[in-house]
Structure 1
Amino acid sequence: MVKGCCVHGCTANSMSNTDRNFYIIPKEAKRRDKWLRAINRAHVNKDGSVDRNRLWSPNSGHVYVCSAHFVSGKKVNDPCHPDFVPSIFPQNEKPSSIKVDRYQRAIKRYNTESETQRTTARKKLKLLDQQSPTNIMQFHSYVKSPDDHDSEHCDKDLSCNKAVQMETHPVDPSLEESDHEREMLFDEIENLICEKNEVLERVKILEKLMSVSSLHSDSVEGNDERCKMMTGITWGVFIHLFTFLSTFIKSSSTSKLPPREQLFLTLLKLRHNLTFEFFSHVKGIPKSTIVDYFWKWMDLMHYKLKFFIRWAHWADRDIINKTIPPVFKEKFPRLTSIIDCFEIFIEAPKNLLARAQCYSSYKRHTTIKCFISCNPHGAINFLSKCWGGRASDAEIVRNSGFISSLYHLPGDQILADRGFTLADDFAALCSAELITPSFTRGKKQLSAREVEISRKVSSVRIHIERVIGCLKNRFSILKGTLPIRCVQSLKDESMEESFSSCDKILTVCAALSNMGQSIVFHQ
């Protein structure tokens, strides 16, 4: 598109005058008004009459002024510069180079100001700030407000015009000093803005440090190693877990912790078994609120994550045959599960009957006992309810519902320790084969065949011990002595819950353990 100059009497265009630049009339209201007044074209009405009382304003947004109408040959955006507005027109064709010289001298005087005058201006600014802080804030907003950007240009333009007038007219020295002090105030305000930005950056750093010291989830964001150390799961698993569970949580404006921090606190409790008093001290929240948060998320995870522990994942024997590790397949080609029982220390109940039922002669302590099963890959696929430590392993298995045709098919192989004398039960109820190491009872020595079978069984059955160890090491709440309130709470008793508090804790820990890596790898 051909660009043409809009100045009256100028015939320059981009086709014939390629050495010139063409600048569009600014859209900024005050600067546009200055340009139009300098161009000084008459306003033409719709009927063709000329109205000299109105300022000409083009309707099109593509109206240009060529570079010949500027002193330096180009447009300058500095309000103090003569070329901030075009000034050379047919009625005034001589370039006003003296204006440029005056502008340069004014800039030079500003740049050569002594440090003494700058210090004096800072002292005056400090005194002014102490005497009238409201005025200085108004002055600051007046200088730096985005909406009054042109006012700033006008002030600078006025100071430059005064500096130019000094070349030809005598000026009061006090006025000149006040102009310089005002320029110094601009510098001081710029320094204060820079200091404010630096302080804000330091505040952000301190807030990040505070989040780390206050057990905040942001301290492990994006770092799998730190998140696994703090919660037992990686950061990616934590985010997916929270995204899934948050759909079932109603957000409350009165909550003292956001939902993500509540889940993070719950996993910290499971991972490190820290006391509720410690969380209350660090977070500055009452202990009762911390306890409510913990059990709220435990109830939700127990209900929503149970599907991670169920036999349906391995009910298809074709899948088991395809994924079973080769080392296991050579020894036990139809292996589907490895079973065992483990115990967790608890506080001694006050009731003597309950204490007798929970006392374990093997551990010599009051315990709860749980039956567990894992598949050949080490994933937990069955978990019974908790029993008192006095109950035998065989009794727990019989009452857990594990010996059922719903879980086993004829010919399935199950590995167990010597204490599980349930081979006849598995054969009669589900036609599965229970394989245990050989007994030495009533024998002086095992035969070579029995020794070899026992060795093969032990080499594979040891993986259930690794699963139990991994579960306890990953979630320390299972290693310490559980308080009675974590075994069976008054709320569960009053509501006649089918699952006790310790059942929920074990189920959640097992489900979270299944979200991690397997303990058995393909070679």
Structure 2
Amino acid sequence: MDTRYPERCVGIEFVPFVKPGKFNYHYDKCQRWVTACYRPNSQLRPEIIGRDHFICSQHFVDGKPTEENPDPISADPFGKPTKKRKLRSVSNEVPAGKRKKNTVAANETEEDAMCENFAGLKDTEKQPGSSTQESFSQSYSNAQVGNAVQNVSETSGQTGVSAEAEQPSGSDIHKFLRNRDISCKKCGETVLLNTTEMQMIVCNTFLHRILSSDEVCFKYTGVPSIQMLKFLFEWISKPAEETRIWGGKNKLRPGRFPGRGRHSYKISKFESFMLTLVRIRKGYDMDHLAFLFGISQSHVSKVFTTWVSILNQCFKPILKWPSKEVSKRNLPESFKDFPNTRCVIDCTEFQVEKPFRPAAQRLTWSNYKHNNTTKVLVAIMPSGAIVFKSSVYVGSISDKEIVKKSGFLSKLEAGDDVMADRGFNIRDLLLFKKATLNMPSFSHGRQLTRKAVQKSRRIASVRVHVERGIGRIKSFRLLRGVISLKVRFLLNQILTIVCVLCNLQKRLC
């Protein structure tokens, strides 16, 4: 039916054609509709189906897709699928007197040699009536299905039945792999699953595995225990209910309304919470997370961006500067030689993707790392808890300059003692706050005295805890390696989340 002729379209509706969608979720249904239309492959195929493709209501039994008749009627004029014509042998086409015996013999020997090389068998080892493809399918079925059939036979209590008798043969091994069914071991009932149900099983299995033990929970989320994970989710669930999923920078452009669209993605708040933690902890890409949680890649990005903002708003008040009484109460024995130490500071760098613009390349270039990096100032208590994290700066900035701009000096009080490395020449800045600086001594080209060497060793032995704290931060794989420029807008918020998750772990000292 053609809409260019309105007189022919009286009482006829046009149904939108099924699109394959991202990750080919509806590819099978789209292929059935394409086959029913009986059009050439150059005119209609699943790869070219778009929003402008419709199908006439006359192709359906009920005038539209229903649960009983979801697919259109076949438009094949012959009523049967066409079969490919079998090729005749060479002996029937060419007369016997005009054959080239040498050429045929050479071709046969080459084919035999190729078959022997592919199968890896000699003529004496081949069985009559078997081919290479059948032997490969037989071995694959024995390796993959043998254990499953053996377990079923053992649980059912049948004796005298071999596992090979119930295994699929080489001819139907592909059908066995295509079947998406689950059978119950007790009653034997088989349930056929569609694509959505298979994705739900993958997601639920992955989450169930994470919540199986505290070790697995810490490995995939960075939270030390399952009870702590549940507590965090209950605490964050209330602010999450008042927040809408971020729809992208172009969602509220003129002429577009929020909350409307063709596709509706359903993912629970707990799954969104776990998706964010797993991505930060393990550094999985969008494709892998889309497969695990059964949503599209774009929706993974929207969920991750939204929940990073939610976690940052909830975790940011926890990352607070402690008072002097709290610092002295939690002072470990290793700092007994430095009782007035308020914090230990150090800068760390994260390698980022090379920017496109030359000016940005120059600003992010680090002579120390010889790469494009971003730099962050981190301060920890003597006990090892992270109490301050600066904003993300470019890699070319110096340590002294980042101390000035980060707001770290406003946290100090009179009489505080700050411990740092040799690169932090900030003694003049601390004088305005009436604070002191503890750092290893400089040699200035001369040999250090015995007293200076002992002091430097004591400082280095306790200052190593800030390196251990930074090591915990970099154990989250999203911050390890080369960080994509697409995450640069969320890097400050991600670092806040990571610092709070590190404080939930055991004390460093």
Q: TM-score range by the shorter chain?
A: 0.5 to 0.7
The equivalent of 1:448 in structure 2 is: 450
The equivalent of 1:287 in structure 2 is: 297
Report the TM-score, using the length of structure 2 for normalisation. 0.56
Alignment of 1:77-476 (within 5 A): 198-199=187-188, 211=201, 216-233=206-223, 234-250=225-241, 255-311=265-321, 314-315=322-323, 317-328=324-335, 330-404=336-410, 407-428=411-432, 430-441=433-444, 443-473=445-475, 475-476=476-477
- Equivalenced residue count is 304
Q: Residue type matched to 2:241 in 1?
A: K
Alignment of 1:6-85 (within 5 A): none
Q: Secondary structure in 2 aligned to 1:370? A: strand
Q: Residue type matched to 1:449 in 2?
A: K
The equivalent of 2:150 in structure 1 is: none
- CA distance, structure 1, for counterparts of residue 392 and residue 449 of structure 2: 38
- Contact 2:265–2:295 (CA under 8 A) maintained in structure 1: no
- Contact 2:203–2:293 (CA under 8 A) maintained in structure 1: no
- CA distance, structure 1, for counterparts of residue 312 and residue 200 of structure 2: 32
- CA distance, structure 1, for counterparts of residue 291 and residue 265 of structure 2: 17
Q: Residue type matched to 1:275 in 2?
A: D
- Describe the shift of the 1:214–1:367 C-alpha distance in structure 2 as closer, same or farther (beyond 3 A): farther
> How far apart are residue 408 of structure 1 and its match?
2.0
Percent of aligned pairs with the same amino acid: 30
Q: Secondary structure in 2 aligned to 1:418? A: coil
> How far apart are residue 409 of structure 1 and its match?
2.2
- Contact 1:308–1:511 (CA under 8 A) maintained in structure 2: yes
- 2:500 corresponds to 1:511: yes
> How far apart are residue 213 of structure 1 and its match?
6.8
> How far apart are residue 361 of structure 1 and its match?
0.8
Q: Secondary structure in 2 aligned to 1:249? A: helix
- CA distance, structure 1, for counterparts of residue 185 and residue 288 of structure 2: 37
State the Cα deviation string for residues 354-411 of structure 1 (Å, max 9, x = none): 110000011110000000000011111000001110000110011111112xx22222
Q: Residue type matched to 1:260 in 2?
A: F
> How far apart are residue 309 of structure 1 and its match?
1.2
- Contact 2:344–2:382 (CA under 8 A) maintained in structure 1: yes
- Contact 1:423–1:435 (CA under 8 A) maintained in structure 2: no
- Describe the shift of the 1:240–1:444 C-alpha distance in structure 2 as closer, same or farther (beyond 3 A): same
- Contact 1:216–1:261 (CA under 8 A) maintained in structure 2: no
**Greater share of helix:** 1
- Describe the shift of the 1:431–1:199 C-alpha distance in structure 2 as closer, same or farther (beyond 3 A): farther
> How far apart are residue 221 of structure 1 and its match?
2.2
Q: Secondary structure in 1 aligned to 2:217? A: helix
> How far apart are residue 200 of structure 1 and its match?
6.8
Q: Secondary structure in 2 aligned to 1:295? A: helix
State the Cα deviation string for residues 408-456 of structure 1 (Å, max 9, x = none): 222211100001000121122x111111101122x32111111111111
> How far apart are residue 321 of structure 1 and its match?
1.7
- CA distance, structure 2, for counterparts of residue 432 and residue 208 of structure 1: 62
The equivalent of 2:77 in structure 1 is: none
Q: Residue type matched to 1:504 in 2?
A: Q
The structure with the largest alpha-carbon Rg is 1
The equivalent of 1:47 in structure 2 is: none
Q: Secondary structure in 2 aligned to 1:480? A: coil
- Describe the shift of the 1:510–1:199 C-alpha distance in structure 2 as closer, same or farther (beyond 3 A): farther
> How far apart are residue 325 of structure 1 and its match?
0.7
Structure 1: which 4+ aligned runs deviate by more than 4 Å? 199-204, 207-215, 251-255
- Describe the shift of the 1:203–1:247 C-alpha distance in structure 2 as closer, same or farther (beyond 3 A): farther
> How far apart are residue 230 of structure 1 and its match?
1.1
> How far apart are residue 469 of structure 1 and its match?
0.6
Q: Residue type matched to 1:437 in 2?
A: P
- CA distance, structure 1, for counterparts of residue 469 and residue 343 of structure 2: 12
> How far apart are residue 283 of structure 1 and its match?
2.9
- CA distance, structure 1, for counterparts of residue 280 and residue 207 of structure 2: 15
> How far apart are residue 198 of structure 1 and its match?
2.9
> How far apart are residue 470 of structure 1 and its match?
1.3
Q: Residue type matched to 2:370 in 1?
A: R
- Describe the shift of the 1:219–1:408 C-alpha distance in structure 2 as closer, same or farther (beyond 3 A): same
The equivalent of 1:57 in structure 2 is: none
> How far apart are residue 482 of structure 1 and its match?
0.8
State the Cα deviation string for residues 316-350 of structure 1 (Å, max 9, x = none): x222222211221x210111100000000100111
- CA distance, structure 2, for counterparts of residue 209 and residue 259 of structure 1: 17
- Contact 2:340–2:415 (CA under 8 A) maintained in structure 1: yes
CA RMSD of aligned residues (A): 2.6
Which ranges in structure 1 are unaligned for 5 or more consecutive residues? 1-194, 489-500
> How far apart are residue 284 of structure 1 and its match?
3.0
> How far apart are residue 212 of structure 1 and its match?
6.2
- Contact 1:360–1:366 (CA under 8 A) maintained in structure 2: yes
- Contact 2:414–2:435 (CA under 8 A) maintained in structure 1: yes
- CA distance, structure 1, for counterparts of residue 215 and residue 202 of structure 2: 15
Q: Residue type matched to 1:259 in 2?
A: K
- Describe the shift of the 1:366–1:209 C-alpha distance in structure 2 as closer, same or farther (beyond 3 A): closer
Which ranges in structure 2 are unaligned for 5 or more consecutive residues? 1-183, 245-258
Q: Secondary structure in 2 aligned to 1:307? A: coil
Report the TM-score, using the length of structure 1 for normalisation. 0.55
- CA distance, structure 2, for counterparts of residue 220 and residue 396 of structure 1: 39
- Describe the shift of the 1:457–1:202 C-alpha distance in structure 2 as closer, same or farther (beyond 3 A): farther
- CA distance, structure 1, for counterparts of residue 423 and residue 312 of structure 2: 30
- Describe the shift of the 1:394–1:240 C-alpha distance in structure 2 as closer, same or farther (beyond 3 A): same
- Describe the shift of the 1:434–1:200 C-alpha distance in structure 2 as closer, same or farther (beyond 3 A): farther
Q: Residue type matched to 2:438 in 1?
A: I
- CA distance, structure 1, for counterparts of residue 480 and residue 199 of structure 2: 31
